[in-house]
Amino acid sequence: MVRKFLYLSVLLSVFWIGFSNVAVASGDEDDKTGFIMHHVKDSHEWHFATFGHTHVTLPLPVIIYSSDRGLEIYKSSQFQNPETHLFGEDYAHNGYFIDEHDHLQSVDGRSFVDLSITKNVAMLFIVLAVVLWIILSAASHYKKSPGTAPKGAASFIEPIVVFVRDEIALPNIGHHKYKNFTPYLLTIFFFIWFGNLLGLFPGAANLTGNIAVTAVLAIFTLFVTNLNGNKDYWKHIFATPGVPKALLPILVPVEILGAFITKPAALMIRLFVAITAGHIVILSFIGLIFVFESYAVGLASTIMVVFINVIELLVATIQAYVFTLFSAMYIGQAVAEHEHH
């Protein structure tokens, strides 16, 4: 398995260097590392590579709803300079334009709702499709051949399902409740894991490095935890047993802050920072090649990119595990039965 990861990492590094090479070479000579944020941020187009003056991009749907004009659908390429593929107010189309921060704006200040399929949204659909395909393939095997040894996708999925159930859900939630929450924990584990892994491919979107995505995942855990909290859980928040009443005005706000803000914020920020930082580090080493324009630096950067890619493969799994583990811990605290003497 380690050898396969190493081979994959080398291939990824070669692709990254190839794509970044043509992108930087054709870009602004004074900004040889500007491609880093371009790859990390969300966008209304999916950019893969630039060869000279030829841009390999996938235009994405720009979907706009306004009360006066209803639903409107365009291609993102209609808001670009056809030669440079730059967005801006100079390339407005039908009263709308995409600004330098890749935000959709109206020329006349009209109110509207942006429902566009951006790069991260498209990547979200791809991750969901991959997860569904693998899970349904495994389920189909068990349905057709119950009681037999797993094959194909089932042989890949079963050990992970057993691990999440026995090593995350059961010890942290308890024997009486873990079955109720194992499907949720498996869902967030596979979604985050596949999102992390697919995000390492050249030209892929930084899905799990988008704070909006990690915020929604954290909010899911927040709702699952607090909606299933029992009376002991809420009692520990609003009237902590064994604490002098004089300290409750201090302790209760701290407990409320932890239950509704601190815990979900920790889940959100940890995943966002870990994934985004990894992408930036890889792209920074690639950028050094074009900053110094040295064969020695190029060789050293290539070795570091391969090394960081191997680490990122591990981080992709670790971050999925950590998010799922902490979610299970928070849920376990909410549903646990306490004995007070």
pLDDT in tens, the chain (341 residues): 545 544 555 454 444 444 444 444 434 444 555 667 777 888 888 887 766 667 788 899 999 999 889 999 999 999 988 777 788 888 899 999 998 888 899 998 889 999 999 999 999 999 999 999 999 998 888 888 887 888 888 888 999 999 999 999 999 998 889 999 999 999 999 999 999 999 888 778 889 999 999 999 999 999 999 999 999 899 888 887 777 888 888 888 999 999 999 999 999 999 999 999 888 888 888 878 777 877 888 888 888 888 888 898 899 999 999 999 999 999 999 998 766 44
* Integer Rg of the chain from CA: 24
How much helix, strand and coil, in percent to the nearest 5, is found in the chain?
A: 65, 10, 25
Phi-psi region for residue 113, left (φ > 0), alpha (ψ -120 to 50) or beta? beta
In the structure encoding, which two tokens stand for residue 255, read together?
Answer: 């407990």
Return the pLDDT at 23.
Answer: 44
Phi-psi region for residue 148, left (φ > 0), alpha (ψ -120 to 50) or beta? beta
Closest CA to 173 of 9, 296, 337: 337
The answer to whether 194 touches 130, Cβ cutoff 8 Å, is yes
The answer to whether 127 touches 149, Cβ cutoff 8 Å, is no
The residues, ordered by sequence, that sit 6+ positions from 3 with a Cβ below 8 Å of its Cβ are none
Return the pLDDT at 18.
Answer: 47
pTM for the structure as a whole: 0.85
57, β-bridge pairs: 47
The residues, ordered by sequence, that sit 6+ positions from 315 with a Cβ below 8 Å of its Cβ are 196, 274, 275, 278
The residues, ordered by sequence, that sit 6+ positions from 213 with a Cβ below 8 Å of its Cβ are 120, 124, 195, 207
Checking DSSP bridges between strand 104-106 and strand 54-59, what pairing results, if any?
Answer: unpaired
The residues, ordered by sequence, that sit 6+ positions from 222 with a Cβ below 8 Å of its Cβ are 260, 263, 264
Cα-based angle 88, 89, 91 (whole degrees, multiple of 5): 75
